Structure 1
Amino acid sequence: MDSDFFDLNGHRFFVRRWGDPNLPTLLMLHGFPEYGGAWSDLAPHLSDRFHCIAPDQRGYGQSCAPEGISNYALSKLVSDMAALIKQFGGPVTVLGHDWGASVAYGLAMFHPKLVSRLIVANGVHPVPFQRELAAGGKQSEASQYINRLRAPDAAEFLSADNFAKLEQFFRHSMGLDWMSDARMDDYRTEWARPERLDAMLNWYRASPLVVAEPGAPCTDLPELPVDRLRVRCPHLLLWGPQDQALLPECTVGLEGFAPNLTRKQIDGTDHWLHHQRPQAVADAILDWVKDN
């Protein structure tokens, strides 16, 4: 693994890289509460086929963490990664997990010339996800944590006692416990960087997603520009079926937004499939790219 700093849109970003730079580029986008180093389980299984690049996204790790919620609007997060792709010549294959999937979808939808293929691992398209968040059903119930993470005191709450609450959140329903003490120490190091945790939480605060109370559907949602939210490149959705945060119903209807969609379930995994069964995830990706 090599690493470099890149200047993107006037901000400094830390990027880890695996594989030969002459190979096709795979942009790997982490979610909350991870950082670019979270791809160290999966990237070695893909580095014979791809030049894997994994940035600490805005607000995370060793990358910039500008103040203010408005600096974490999805348009800015997507713009950062569009600028990074241009540094490598584009178009590239993009892989996103969790919040990284939101950025990956944004790239595919709003910068289609930069994305040749889209791979999402336990992440969601905004339209089906908002539908389920607003329905007041199981996904609304599973996503109540979003409101807690948006609270002004969330960083203080989660960082108390050496990040005990954030570790508890991270480990919630985590199967095949891949989280060693040494690895958790690595995460704490990243979370403890100045102002980072509050910046990470700003991704939730800046999001316009509406989370209904269980049993109380929201019916006055803002209109979404559905015609602009389509993925036209080949799209692979990898899914850990034991995920407790993102439920299968939030991917129902995805084919309407991604007509060239392939679904692949990774059995025996949950939200953290890229850590739990990295070889199986890599095999699924490599099998798919042969035909796409």
Structure 2
Amino acid sequence: MITGTATLNGHDFFLRRWGDPALPPLLMLHGFPEYGGAWSDLAPHLAHRFHCVAPDQRGYGQSWAPEGVRNYTASELVRDMATLIGQLDAPLTVLGHDWGAAVAYGLAMFQPHLVSRLIIANGVHPVPFQRALAAGGAQTRASQYIGYLRDPEAAARLSANNFEKLEKFFRHDLGQDWMSPQRLEDYRTEWARPGRLDTMLNWYRASPLILASPGKPRTDMPELPRDRLRVPCSHLLIWGPEDKALLPEATEGLEEFAPDLTRVTIPGTDHWLHHQKPREVAQAILDWTSDT
């Protein structure tokens, strides 16, 4: 692994890279509460085929972390990564997990000339996910933590007692515990950077997603511009079926927005499939990219 920085729209972003820069690039986008180092389990299994590039996204790790919720809208987050792709060899393959999937979908939908193939690992397209959040059913119940994370005091609560509550959320609330003590210390180091946890949470606060109450479906949902939310490129969805945060209903109807969609399930994994079975996840990616 090689580390460095890239200047994107006048601001510094920290990058990790695996593989020969002469290989086709693979942009790897992490979610919450991770950082670019989250791909250190998976990337070595892909580095013979791709030049893997994993940034700490805005507000995370060692990258630029401006204050203020307004700086974390989807358009700003997508613009960061569009600029980074412009410094690589576009169009390229984009892989996103969790919140990184939201940025990856944004790139594929709004900057399609930059994305040749889209890979999502336990992440969701905005329309099926919003539909499930508003329905008042199982996904609505599973996503109630979003309201907690949006609270202005969430960073203080999650960081208390050496990040005790954030550790519980990360290691136990979303699936099986996969983390070693040393890896936990690596995450704590990133979370403890000044102001960083609050800027990470701004991704939730800036999101326009509307969350219903369990058993109380929302009937006042705005109509989304579906014609603008289509994925024109080939799309691979890799799924950990034991995910406690994202349920199968969160991807129902995805084919309507991604006509060239392939679904692959990795048995025995959950939200953290890229840590739990990186070889199997890598093989799914290698098999699919060989055919597309």
How many Å separate the matches in 2 of 1:95 and 1:180?
Answer: 25
Alpha-carbon shift at residue 174 of structure 1 (Å)? 5.8
Q: Name which of structure 1's ranges 149-158 and 219-228 shifts more when overlaid on structure 2.
A: 219-228
Structure 2 match to 1:194 = 194
Task: Report the secondary structure of 2:96's partner residue.
Answer: strand
Structure 2 counterpart of 1:105:
105
Provide the residue aligned with 2:267 in structure 1.
267
Q: Counterparts of 1:205 and 1:232 in 2: how far apart (Å)?
A: 29
- 1:77 aligned partner: 77
- Identify the residue that residue 153 of structure 2 maps to in structure 1: 153
**Deviation (angstroms), 1:224:** 1.0
Displacement of 1:230 in angstroms is 0.2
**Unmatched 5+ stretches in structure 2:** none
- 2:20 matched residue in structure 1: 20
- The structural deviation recorded for 1:175 is 5.3
User: Are 1:134 and 2:141 an aligned pair?
Assistant: no
Give secondary structure in 2 for the equivalent of 1:290.
helix
Q: What is the deviation of 1:10?
A: 1.6
Partner residue in 2 for 1:50: 50
Q: Does 1:38 pair with 2:38?
A: yes
Report if aligned partners of 2:176, 2:270 keep a CA contact under 8 Å in 1. Answer: no
CA contact (8 A) 2:174 2:245 kept: no
Matches of 2:253 and 2:152 in 1, distance apart?
34
Q: Write the mapping of 1:251-290 to structure 2, written as runs, cut at 5 A.
A: 251-290=251-290
How many Å apart are 1:173 and its aligned residue?
4.6
Runs of 4 or more off by more than 3 Å in structure 1? 173-177
**Which is worse superposed, 123-132 or 169-178?**
169-178
Residue identity matched to 2:246: L
Q: Distance in 2 between matches of 1:11 and 1:222?
A: 34
Q: State the partner residue of 1:238.
A: 238
Cα 1:211–1:176 change in 2 (3 A) is closer
Aligned-partner SS, 2:71 = helix
AA at the equivalent of 2:95: L
**Other structure's SS at 2:241 match:** coil
Structure 2 partner of 1:221: 221
Instruction: Output aligned runs, 1:113-132, within 5 Å.
Output: 113-132=113-132
Secondary structure, aligned partner of 1:172: helix
What SS does the aligned partner of 2:90 have?
A: coil
- CA shift for structure 1 position 222: 1.9
Cα offset for 1:178? 2.3
- Deviation, structure 1 residue 150: 0.2
- Amino acid paired to 2:15: V
Q: Which residue does the alignment assign to 1:210?
A: 210
Give the CA deviation at 1:219. Answer: 1.1
Aligned Cα RMSD in Å?
Answer: 0.8
Partners of 1:202 and 1:142 lie apart in 2 by 20
TM-score, structure 1 as length reference: 0.99
Residue of structure 2 equivalent to 1:3: 3
| Conserved 8 A contact 2:30-2:36 | yes
Cross-structure match for 1:93 = 93
Identity %: 73
Cα offset for 1:83?
0.3
Residue deviations 1:10-50 (CA, integer Å, cap 9, x gap): 21100000000000000000000000001000000000000
Cα deviation, residue 89, structure 1: 2.7
What secondary structure does 2:131 align onto? helix
Deviations 1:91-131 (A, max 9, x none): 11000000000000000000000000000000000000000
Q: Supply the distance in 2 between the matched residues of 1:15 and 1:256 (Cα, whole angstroms).
A: 34
Point out where structure 1 has 5 or more consecutive residues left out of the alignment: none
Give the 3-state SS of the residue equivalent to 2:67 in structure 1. coil
State the SS of the aligned residue for 2:179: coil
Shift of 1:176: 5.4
* Paired letter, 2:22: N
Tell me, yes or no, if the aligned pair for 2:171 and 2:178 is still in contact at 8 Å: no
Q: TM-score, normalised by structure 2?
A: 0.99
Instruction: Look up the match of 2:143.
Output: 143
